[in-house]
Structure 1
Amino acid sequence: MLVHAHPDDETTGTGATMARYASEGVPVCLVTCTRGERGEVVADDLAQLRDAGPDALGKYRESELAAAMTELGVKRYVWLGGAGRWWDSGMVGTPENEHQRAFYRAELTEPVRALVEVLRREQPTVVVTYDPHGGYGHPDHIQAHRVTMAAITPAADPEYAPELGEPWRVPKVYWSVVPRSAVLKMAEEVGAEFAEQMPGATDDKITARLDGEEYLPAKLAALRAYRSQVNLDDGFFARFVKGAQFRYEHFQLVHGARGPAGPGEQGWEDDLFAGLA
């Protein structure tokens, strides 16, 4: 199970991982916390969405996510609390971040309860979400991290909301991370000025790296499904996906036992299920 903040986040950061396990027959479930109602519309032929209001964009992005999941081979995806329960919060300091429906402003009680229900229903062996910084500091990424980490323990507690289903203990929890070295390399390759906003993870914190080269076609096809948000022909994303680091997806194990190392010299796992029976 992967917990992401907005449509397209799952593909950008973990798309190859999702495609790999889906192709291997592993049940993959995506939980998306908002519909990305505040996203910037980049496609000119969708310009009407720029002034149509957040709910209209959110509904459009629902269809984009469905198309992306088809490309990745993922059949199970849910909206935390139901589609549109919480809205994209925008960036810190913007009016959107102060909106009463902003996900970042939600008290943890309700979204945690909603996620506990999903955890008990889906019974995932591995859960993936963001690190405490949310990767690059987006408020919704940070909130998704908070909600996920706050839901793991009560999901296993038989005294917590028994009406939500049988308790479920998640064996392994990972944070999706980007190595600091890769951040600096990407900054060189794509000319982006995000090295300060994305601190990245040092190599000693990383515990798993999945080489997604085989699944890059599916990952790129899924990204192309997000036409309102992503332009793979020009601009940042077009340069980003051509970078040498785009094929790799890195993770930090924060709950559960580390499995055997993969073949790489770093001693990182090459399978998120490593060590599990």
Structure 2
Amino acid sequence: MIPPGFLPARPADTDGTYRLLFVHAHPDDESIATGGTMAALAHSGAQVSLLTATRGELGEVIPAELKQLEQGLPGSVLDGGAGLARVRTEELAQAVVELGITRQVFLGEFPALMPAFAPTSYRDSGMSWGPDGRAQAAATVLPGSFSRTSLQEVAAHTAALIRALRPDVVITYAADGGYGHPDHVYCHQMTIAAIELAAVAGDAQNLAWNVPLTYTILSDRPERAHDPAAAVWWIEGELDAKREAMRAHRTQVVVAEDCFALSDLEFRPLSAKEGFQLFRIARQDVVGSRAASLAASPGEDTVSSEPRQRSISDWMGYGLSALFAGVLVAALGTMLHSRTSMIGQFQLPWGALLALLLLGAVITLIRNWSSSATLGVILGVITYVTCVMFSIPHGQVALIMGDLAGSVWLYGIAVVTVILGAQAALGKVFRARKK
């Protein structure tokens, strides 16, 4: 069942049909990681599309009668994995039917293909197991392997598919690929770059498309990458459909009624409960600047993502940090401000000037950290209010006197805050005009 809020408020399609695109690295990944959700979405009437990056040429093979297809074993068929690729492609076709997927396409084949670009296929990169139990790059990665190709190239192929399908939601792996497989990690990088590229580059047939929602798959591993401030959705998918789709991938998975095993033959519970974390909400006023560089600089492998929406807890954290920093700067500056030196007959309030320099540095630091000029102004106001309280006498004297040093420090706080606030506002205006 798809919970309310997981999909956008309304689909972009005029007939009211939601469109979703799942991006996976190899045949079987779609069924194991997201099969329950894909089936639930498909059976609810959504159009579910699947982009598969490779054909899984270097996968491990479980059935003894097909073991010769696994590369690198004694007596295996030395075909670079072509035989296994054919079998896994057939398995994927059966799984697609079981899950109700509307369309499955391989990367480098139309419509996941740049215009005027010859069709191509990308090889499984292979992997090895690291000492920490996570996947890592194989000792030898062959030419043409997916994870070694140009990010600009594969992102452009994926962007072409996004512009053609115009999905309401795109789902792929988290930045760590779930368990570290190089192809999974690269799938994440490719997909995020493609989403930005699709939003700024189109052609006469396929106009630019800004994907409304992007999710990453929440791994079931304990060391999974997880942002506690981003929304997480748990979906109770369709177990029967997921079971049959996994069973279709017989070279990779052994499926019993309520459990399954991979090539290690260690059985684990079979569940259709799958987690997804919000990665991106499309913002019409923000265009991916890194996407523009991808479009303008062929061959340059760059990755970025638009900033996610900030939650209330984010702003509470920023606000408390500004409050603490403002009071701290006020206390330190007040302790420092009275230091002066005589230069001839002129009194130099170097302590107050140094305190103002400290204030400017902290405002700039907080502003850049939070990406909010307003928060920098708030910090300055907090510092000023705190110092006004310090200037009120408690007993015989106040902490800030009405002399030259005190005046430079107290009124300088207001001046520095206004100048830095104006500078940030003018910078925003200039950046908007450049766009």
TM-score, length-scaled by structure 1: 0.78
1:75 aligned partner, one-letter code: T
Q: CA offset at residue 166 of structure 1? A: 1.0
From 232, 240, 244, the equivalent of 1:207 is 232
Q: Specify the alignment match of 2:275 in structure 1.
A: 250
Find the aligned partners of 2:95 and 2:216 in 1 and give their Cα distance: 22
Separation (CA, whole Å) in 2 of partners of 1:221 and 1:115: 28
> Number of aligned pairs?
235
Look up the SS of the partner of 1:25 in the other structure: coil
Matched, 1:241 2:279: no
User: Could you tell me which amino acid in structure 2 is paired with residue 251 of structure 1?
Assistant: F
Whether 1:219 aligns to 2:242 is yes
Corresponding position of 2:179: 136
Check if 1:57 corresponds to 2:100.
Answer: no
Displacement after TM superposition at 1:47 (Å): 2.3
Matched, 1:33 2:71: no
- Root-mean-square deviation (Å): 2.3
Which AA in structure 2 matches 1:89? S
Which letter does structure 1 place at the counterpart of 2:42? A
- Matching residue's letter, 1:71: E
Match of 1:118 among 158, 161, 166: 161
Task: Describe the superposition over 1:176-229 as per-residue Cα deviations: whole angstroms up to 9, x where unpaired.
Answer: 113xxx535xxxxxxxxxxxxx435365545211012xx101101000000111
Contact 2:179/2:221 (8 A) holds in 1? no
- Give CA-to-partner distance per residue, 1:127-183, whole Å, 9 cap, x none: 0001110000000000000000001111011xx3526621111000000113xxx53
2:125 corresponding residue in structure 1: 89
Ranges in structure 2 where 5+ consecutive residues have no aligned partner: 1-20, 71-75, 110-118, 128-135, 283-307, 309-435
1:23 to 26, 36, 43: 43
CA distance in 1, matches of 2:101, 2:189: 25
1:66 corresponds in structure 2 to 93
CA spacing shift, 1:75–1:172, aligned 2, 3 Å: same
- Contact residue 25 and residue 54 of structure 2 kept, 8 A: yes
Task: Quote the Cα distance in structure 2 between the aligned partners of 1:164 and 1:107.
Answer: 25
Q: Distance in 1 between the 2:249 and 2:120 partners?
A: 18
Q: Answer yes or no: is the 8 Å Cα contact 1:22–1:28 preserved in 2.
A: yes
In the TM superposition, residue 126 of structure 1 has moved relative to its aligned partner by: 0.2
1:183 to 192, 209, 221: 221
Question: What is the identity, as a one-letter code, of the residue corresponding to 1:74?
Answer: I
CA distance in 2, matches of 1:93, 1:117: 28
TM-score in terms of structure 2 length:
0.51
Distance in 2 between residues matched to 1:130 and 1:241, nearest whole Å: 21
Q: Measure how far apart 1:101 and its partner are.
A: 1.1
Query: Residue type matched to 2:239 in 1?
Result: L
Greater relative CO, 1 or 2 (CA 8 Å, sep 6+): 1
Secondary structure (helix, strand or coil) at the match of 1:249 reads strand
Preserved contact between residue 24 and residue 51 of structure 2 (Cα < 8 Å)? yes
- Specify the SS of the correspondent of 2:221: helix
Contact 1:120 1:164 in 2 (8 A): no
2:106 counterpart (79, 98, 115): 79
Offset of 1:256 from its aligned partner? 1.1
Provide the C-alpha distance between the structure 2 equivalents of 1:231 and 1:163, rounded to a whole number of angstroms. Answer: 47
**Structure number with bigger Rg:** 2
Give the aligned partner of residue 269 of structure 1: none
SS at match of 2:278: strand
